[in-house]
Amino acid sequence: MERTLVIIKPDALSKKIVGKVITTFEEEGFKIVAFKMVLLSREKAEEFYAEHKGKEFYEPLVNFMSSNPCVVMVLEGENIAQKVRDIAGNTDPQKAGEGTLRKLYAQDNRHNIVHAADSLESAEREVKFFFSENEIHHWEERIYKK
Ligand code: GDP
Ligand code: MG
């Protein structure tokens, strides 16, 4: 089954909308299989965003992402990486579609509420970056579902 990595960024904690973000995922029917709060060190934030090294937004992005804790989670489901990217919306909230998390809650193209892995390959790498296999739970959805 496909998995993806989501980070609820420090601006979402400041705005106290972590619950709203999680509710959005649950209402979409997404399945949460791992979940925790982490304060990224500067080094870990640099490593996580290594693909952007050298870009003008890299340093401030690393500062922002290591400024306060994040909530990180793994979601599982068919085509889940793409589905989460769709719900997140464009990086820049001014370009994000109606109803997307970034359109609803993001302040600007740095403080944009969520990170979502951009491909299956990235998702695999990013899940491993934050979680060991024994922190990912293979719980059964069927049992208590209405
Ligand atoms: P994402 O995959 O939609 O998150 O976007 P990217 O992978 O291109 O960029 C990673 C993160 O860097 C974004 O989510 C933003 O927080 C930040 N970022 C990207 N582009 C810009 C930009 O042009 N300006 C600023 N300030 N931040 C940016
Ligand atoms: Mg990206």
DSSP string computed for 57-100:
THHHHHHHHTSS-EEEEEEESTTHHHHHHHHH--SSTTTSPTT-
pLDDT tens track, the chain, 146 positions? 899 999 999 999 999 999 999 999 999 999 999 999 999 999 999 999 999 999 999 999 999 999 999 999 999 999 999 999 999 999 999 999 999 999 999 999 999 999 999 999 999 999 999 999 999 999 988 766 66
| 107 CA → ligand 1 middle, Å | 12
Q: What pLDDT is recorded for position 142?
A: 77
pLDDT at site 143: 67
Which residues are close to ligand 2, an ion, with C-beta < 5 A? 118
- Choosing from 52, 111, 115, 137, the catalytic residue is 115
13, 20 Cβ separation under 8 angstroms: no
- Ligand 1 geometric centre to CA of 18 (Å): 20
Task: Give the pocket of ligand 1 (CB within 6 Å).
Answer: 52, 57, 60-61, 91, 109-110, 112, 115, 118
Helix (H) or strand (E) holding 18: helix 18-27
Active site residue 115: yes
What is the CB neighbour count within 10 angstroms for residue 63? 12
Estimate the crossing angle of helix 80-88 against helix 120-130, to 10 degrees: 90
Q: Give the residue extent of every domain in the chain.
A: 2-135
User: In the CATH hierarchy, which fold is given to the domain comprising 2-135?
Assistant: Alpha-Beta Plaits (3.30.70)
By most ligand atoms within 8 Å of CB, the mutation choice from 67, 91, 102 for ligand 1 is 91
